[in-house]
Amino acid sequence: MSANAIVKLIGWGLFAVVLAGAGVMAGCPQYNVYEQRLHGEAELARANANREILVSQARAEKEAASLRADAIGIVGKAAKEYPEYRQQEFIGAFADALRHGSIGQIIYVPTEGNVPIMQAGKNK
């Protein structure tokens, strides 16, 4: 290879490097814009997903509250129509507490018509 060919080859190589550098420098601002747009789209998608999560949680809480209100209404209606319902509920809760060992001691208070007798054993 001649010296003239080597000089031309080096010249074309330098020209290619300068051209590639210019291309990179020209494309860099556009790439930054593209990258920022993608970052913005990702943030928007994340915000939408978080909003959907909050909306679905709020719907679930609303539905649960509505069902609780319905249950309270049913219990209230049953207590109003059937006075013995409350007594049965108390007995059931008392039995559960006894079964789980939550009650250590039972004290009996004699009553008459659901009113405690305060002077038991003192007859005049």
Global pTM reads 0.47
DSSP assignment string, 30-66? HHHHHHHHHHHHHHHHHHHHHHHHHHHHHHHHHHHHH
What is d(CA 71, CA 30) in angstroms, rounded to the nearest whole number? 61
Across 23-62, b (16+ Cβ under 10 Å) vs e yields eeeeeeeeeeeeeeeeeeeeeeeeeeeeeeeeeeeeeeee
* Ramachandran bin of 101, using left for φ above 0, alpha for ψ from -120 to 50, beta for the remaining angles: left
Domain residues of the chain, as ranges? 3-104
pLDDT of amino acid 124: 55
The pLDDT value given to residue 123: 60
pLDDT score for 109: 81
Give me the average pLDDT of each 10-residue run along the chain (124 residues). Answer: 80 84 75 85 96 97 96 88 84 89 81 77 59
pLDDT at 63: 97
